[in-house]
Structure 1
Amino acid sequence: MLDFRLACFINTIAYVILVYLLYLIINKCNKVNPILFFLLHIAIFFFQPAFYDAVIWKTGSANYLWGTLFCFIFIYRYYSYYRMGARSDNLAKSVQIFVLGLIAGWTNENMSVAIIIYVVLCLFLLFLEKKQVPRWAIVGLIGVSIGCILLLTAPGNYIRLEVTKRGLAERGLVGYDLLYLSIRNTMKYLWHYVLPLLFIYLVFLFLYYKSPKNLLVRRQIIISSVLLILTAIIAHLAMIVSPMFHLRSLFGIIILLIASIGLIYANIDYRKIHIKVLNFLMINILFLIFGWTYYKQYNDVSTISSFWHNREDFIKEQKNKGIDTIVFTERSPMEHKYFIYEMSTEPNVWENIEYSRYYGVRWVKAPSKHN
């Protein structure tokens, strides 16, 4: 396995590349705008309901952060061609986009299906506008479709689905109850996390529409942003087929929505004084809120980190005394929003078993809440 610090560094690079890709999409054909780059990070930080789960947690990031990164590397080619045209159309380009499509289609189920729709819509737009459809664009569609099929037909998917269904069946949820649960969760997340971003999009779209712009450029930008929104909604609705999904599953969907909002925001005409003042106030308020939130959460995570390091020291002390059955004396200062949970008060629960095995003791358990 990778050294923890090296894994953190590589993850950080992946996150920065993802934000930079968003910046390239949003700020295409505009002047360099470093504030916009930082605003994108703030938007991801605030609007992702499971930022720590999808970006900081290594297992979660392997699926959601990295998966979304590959998806955006892939769709950027189509977006860029639609906006700018003229890309080389040779064998090397086709091979490259096929491999990228294969990887993007093999990331996670809802994003894979949505990306196929995005590519199909892009090709349809090119056809409607009587623009040339390059060979690499068709090859990319084939690649992402194959990747998606391989993902959806993987045996592990069916095993996981059966395990989930079995667990829900033990709670009395079968048949139509499962369908109701899926629809309810999908609609709940749509209401809480997707619709607020759609409202923000409409506000910026109104301001953009009032801005003086070249009609062709305006049309391209609005169509591009709507394509991203449709892709996000399709990715969200695709989760109905899953009886249970976590908030981290929304990561790619929220990124798509942020990209569509950012695309409109970056092209608003800020020469009007009232829009310029509102933008200035918004940026400064966001920076202040971000700074305070970051400071507070850094302190929270530092406290939790110190607590678990103290536990490690306690285990070493007990082992030096020849004690291999360990009952901790204090409970963790749990912060559920960081997805850090206390271990069980029973030593035979799997988390405790693995923790004991890692530290080379017979068993460990947390103290009771009433202690």
Structure 2
Amino acid sequence: MKKRFLSASHNQYYFVIIFSFLIIFILNSLTPYVADDYSYAFSVATGERIESISDIIKSQYEHWHSWGGRSIAHFLAQLFILLPKFYFNILNSLMYCAFIYLCYRHALGRTHSYRPVLLILLHVYFWIFLPVYGQNLLWLTGSCNYLWTTVLILLFVLPYRDNLEKNITAHKSFLFMPLLFLNGILAGWSNENSGASILVLLILYFFYKKYFLKVKIELWEIVGLIGFMVGFFLLISAPGNFNRLDEYNVSSFNITTMINRIYNLLSFYFRIGIIFPIIFTLPLLFNKNDKDILLVAYPLGALVAVFSMIVSPTFPDRATMIAYTYSGISLIRVLEAYKGKHILGYFGFDTMKIKLIALFYIIMVFSITSILPSFKNIVEVGLKASYRVEYIKRQRESNNENIKVGLVSPHNKHVGFYGLSDIRSDAEVWPNPYIAKYYSVENIVGIDDASWWPSNIEMIESLISDK
């Protein structure tokens, strides 16, 4: 019976993928533009509305010089804001499914079986443990910065990961090396702590292969590394990175600051979502029959991703996504390695077994208790944001150039709005000027007055009538 439960059919496996796509598509559709989305509707170079691909290229050239090196992520953000939101909803949902699949693929390898339970467990893991789920996976600018770049990274690292299990001596495809080189540039040009973690892992990969496995380094491996280094150089060498430091008091960086940052980073690393898979890795590492280098690589990647932020003035929760990605992969790989084995048997005890099914149901209970409140808040925020946009448009058509609107206040981390700047009470404070400019009005201010909002039924009726 256990074997039947853990051995998934193709149909069950693909059903999970399709169902997860539909759910995340609904969540994307309920997530409005917020904060930086409005800023990136305009060119960094000219301040004018983005109207073409060439406008985006010019904008990102200036962005690279004046603000930061994440040109790939912000190119995508400006492209999606240029297009109708529906296209982003579809493509971002597909990208989320690709992200889950690549985590699954990294955990189980090239010859993986079809296990819907483990696939579902990945969804549940990220739902529970990602600190700002909505910012990473639903918010347009946040998704481009973290979800999309993480997919590029996982895709780039995949051949190297597979090569540790089964040596890839040659690739017959003529396109493989050019595509790997291009993927390397895009992965390196993603974001700072993700790139730093991959750089360290690649260095250790080549060291391990040459001095422990004592096998030849293949041309494709070097080509991929060169591509990655090109992209990473473009990321960290951007003049905008150094210009932006002027906004922070970096001159105060001293031993006390360093100790505080180390303490804060340790608190990030030892969050249960990151440390949980690593704890269960330890018994496997002490067993001489289970020397799995990948059980070391992914936790190490999480460690580097967190501690590479020690030189950064800020470390927002959304930047931990790559660390949680590595730990999610570790969790699935560890569970697969423990399948049918005794936990404490590795230390000489035979009295306890991992109960994968029990663990799955425990996590599912925690997940379900958060799903309904989260969906409720996502729907409420989506409804209010949509009503507010239509209200702004009606006021504009009535020649009212100074508009007051109610504030949207999400309280759940799964909401794309959560933790981001909504419309402020001061018309001059960001992001108000960009929101006003986006909707072609003079001023927009927010008022913290619950009576401004009609009932949900009235908002729905208003939105239907406006259509």
Asked if these proteins are the same fold (TM beyond 0.5), I'd say: yes
Residue aligning to 1:247: 317
SS of match in other structure, 1:142: helix
- Distance across 1 between alignment mates of 2:218 and 2:92: 34
**Partner residue in 2 for 1:144:** 228
Q: Residues 18 and 69 of structure 1 are in contact (CA less than 8 Å); yes or no, is this contact kept in structure 2?
A: yes
Whether contact under 8 Å (1:64, 1:251) holds in the other structure is yes
Structure 2 counterparts to residues 1-371 of structure 1, below 5 A: 1-28=82-109, 29-89=111-171, 92-127=175-210, 128-162=212-246, 164-165=247-248, 169=249, 174-176=251-253, 180-181=256-257, 184-185=260-261, 187-197=263-273, 199-205=275-281, 208=284, 215=289, 218-219=290-291, 221=292, 223-270=293-340, 275=353, 278-319=355-396, 321-328=398-405, 330-335=406-411, 337=413, 338-368=418-448
Distance 1:118 1:324, change over 3 A: same
Structural RMSD (CA): 2.8
1:40 Cα deviation (Å)? 0.9
Residues in 1 aligned to 2:384 and 2:164: alpha-carbon distance in whole angstroms? 52
Q: In the TM superposition, what is the alpha-carbon distance from 1:115 to its structure 2 partner?
A: 0.9
SS at match of 2:313: coil
Structure 1 residue identity aligned to 2:297: L
What's the counterpart of residue 460 of structure 2? none
Q: Please, which runs of 5 or more residues in structure 1 have no aligned partner?
A: none
For structure 2, list consecutive stretches of 5 or more residues without a partner in the other structure: 1-81, 343-350, 452-467
Q: Give 1:9 shift.
A: 1.2
SS at 1:366 equivalent: strand
Alignment coverage as a number of residue pairs = 355
1:271 deviation in Å?
A: 6.3
So what's the TM-score if we normalise by structure 1? Answer: 0.85
| Percent sequence identity over aligned pairs | 23
AA at the equivalent of 1:10? L
When normalised by structure 2's length, the TM-score is: 0.69
- Check whether the contact 2:278–2:330 (CA below 8 A) recurs between aligned residues: no
| SS of structure 2 residue aligned to 1:174 | helix
Instruction: Supply the distance in 2 between the matched residues of 1:370 and 1:18 (Cα, whole angstroms).
Output: 39
Secondary structure at the residue paired with 1:365? strand
Verify the 8 A CA contact 2:125 2:328 in the aligned structure 1. Answer: yes
Q: Deviations 1:292-341 (Å, cap 9, x if unpaired)?
A: 3122111111112222233234335544655332233x443443732354
Letter in 1 for 2:400: I
Q: Is the 8 A contact 1:21 1:72 kept in 2?
A: yes
Q: Residues 154-189 of structure 1: CA distance to partner in whole angstroms, max 9, x if unpaired?
A: 222222233x32xxx4xxx73336x74465345324
> 1:336–1:43: structure 2 CA closer, same or farther, 3 Å change rule?
closer
The amino acid across from 1:324 in the alignment is E
Q: Which amino acid aligns with 2:433?
A: I
Secondary structure at the residue paired with 1:350? coil
SS at match of 1:267: helix
- Structure with greater helix percent: 1
* Cα distance change, pair 312–25 in 1 and its aligned pair in 2 (3 A): closer
